[in-house]
Amino acid sequence: MTTHSTMNKDTLLWMYSTMVTIRRFEEQSRREADAGKLRGMHSSIGQEAVPTGISAHLRDNDFVLGTHRSHHHCIAKGVDINEMMAELLGKATGTNSGKGGTMHIADINKGMLGANGVVGSNIPVATGVGLSAKVRGTDQVSVVFFGDGASSQGVLHESMNLASIWKLPVLFVCENNRYAESTPFEFTVAGGSISNRAAGYDIPGVSVDGQSVLEMFEVGGEAVARARRGDGPTLIEAQTYRYHGHFGADDPLGYRSEEEQEYYMDRDCIKQLTAHIIENGFAGEDDLQSLDEKALAAIAEAVRFADESPFPDDADLMTDVYNTYA
């Protein structure tokens, strides 16, 4: 993946394609789950702009670490969707050889150092990745995504402090999608702001409209540049929204209102970017439609690839527990 760090037509169309691919991938994953081919997954629909705006600035050898809800992080970082779909179906050709599944997708060649099912668990790991870049003297950056719920884990606070005193190239990116399972974030986050907490650790804390990929792009660009310069970490709180239930089975209207859903869905990230591209003449509706069709074709190919792939061999149960073990 080449970076798209200059805002131009190419970058806009890359962001558009990326977000549409994520959405179509998630819609298909849901269908696969409904068909019983995987047992549930955390949909990222609604949150596509957050990793897309940031990953535009990242190279293959920069690192991204995710959460239980990470399909969008993976796709934005350039992970192959055939291998992702195969992983969801538990196939040997999957990113993780079928051993990890939806909550653990990783692809080291693309700098995707893994989704993680334990809330908050990846935050210090990403801090260590930043430490590694610094000690090795590269200008790589480490980006960790986590939820509003995860912001209440102690490790976030320990990690922000570490990254600040050691001036590590880390982006702490909170996707505040308003809920942790059914719990509204105001109920558990004292003071009502996550970005404000950066002040206590003497690092920049930015709140940004996570439904606007253009704003995500701008804020992400500054934070990545700051990290590459060696000036240290940034905490970004992206205000976003998950459109579906937490895990798929729950009805979100059990804990939130239709008006609230409409408010966010009206400001959908793909809709907004489409309008921006068309209104400013970067591309026409036909161009976007052909990108849509390409995304759909790619998803169809991913399903075909996954379906036709074999399950792991029984012997694979015991491989990769260690490198050597005698």
Ligand X SMILES: Cc1ncc(C[n+]2csc(CCOP(=O)(O)OP(=O)(O)O)c2C)c(N)n1
Residues of the shown chain interacting with ligand X in the complex, contacts defined by CB under 6 A? 67-69, 117-119, 147-150, 177, 179-181, 246
Residue 175 CB, shortest distance to Mg ion, in Å, is: 7
| Partner from Mg ion, other proteins, ligand X, none binding residue 187, C-beta < 5-8 Å depending on class | other proteins
Which residues face 258 on adjacent strands? none
Q: Which is nearer to other proteins, 38 or 162 (CB)?
A: 38
| Partner from other proteins, Mg ion, ligand X, none binding residue 210, C-beta < 5-8 Å depending on class | none
Of the candidate residues 7, 125, 139, 184, the single one contacting other proteins (CB under 8 A): 184
Q: Which is nearer to Mg ion, 21 or 177 (CB)?
A: 177
| Residue 147 binds to Mg ion (criterion: CB under 5 A) | yes
CA separation for the pair 222, 5 (Å, rounded): 10
**170-176 and 234-239: which strand pairing?**
parallel
The answer to whether the beta carbons of residues 201 and 137 sit under 8 Å apart is no
CA separation for the pair 79, 251 (Å, rounded): 30
| Partner from ligand X, other proteins, Mg ion, none binding residue 69, C-beta < 5-8 Å depending on class | ligand X
- What is residue 238's three-state secondary structure? strand
Stretch 85-104: interaction string toward other proteins, x if CB under 8 A: --x--xxx---x-xxxxxxx
Considering only residues 278 to 307 of the shown chain, the ones binding other proteins according to CB under 8 A are: none
Q: In what order do the strands lie in the sheet with 142-147?
A: 63-65, 142-147, 170-176, 234-239, 205-209
Q: Which is nearer to other proteins, 308 or 316 (CB)?
A: 316
Q: Which is nearer to Mg ion, 120 or 147 (CB)?
A: 147
Q: Which is nearer to Mg ion, 62 or 148 (CB)?
A: 148
Q: What DSSP state is assigned to residue 252?
A: G
In the chain, % helix, strand, coil (3-state, to 5) comes to: 50, 10, 40
| Partner from Mg ion, ligand X, other proteins, none binding residue 317, C-beta < 5-8 Å depending on class | other proteins
| Partner from ligand X, other proteins, Mg ion, none binding residue 306, C-beta < 5-8 Å depending on class | none
Burial of 183 (0-12, 13-18, 19+ CB in 10 A): middle
| Residue 191 binds to other proteins (criterion: CB under 8 A) | no
The answer to whether the beta carbons of residues 56 and 218 sit under 8 Å apart is no
Considering only residues 139 to 178 of the shown chain, the ones binding other proteins according to CB under 8 A are: 149-150, 152-154
Q: Which two tokens stand for residue 261?
A: 């859903």
CA separation for the pair 220, 171 (Å, rounded): 9
CA separation for the pair 303, 100 (Å, rounded): 18
Beta strands in 189-278, from DSSP E residues, in sequence order: 205-209, 234-239
Q: Which is nearer to other proteins, 136 or 325 (CB)?
A: 325
| Partner from other proteins, ligand X, Mg ion, none binding residue 250, C-beta < 5-8 Å depending on class | other proteins
- Binding-site size for Mg ion (CB under 5 A) equals 4
Angle between helices 269-279 and 213-229 (to 10 degrees): 90
What is the binding site for other proteins (CB under 8 A)?
Answer: 38-40, 87, 90-92, 96, 98-104, 116-121, 149-150, 152-154, 180-184, 186-189, 250, 254-256, 311-312, 314, 316-318, 321
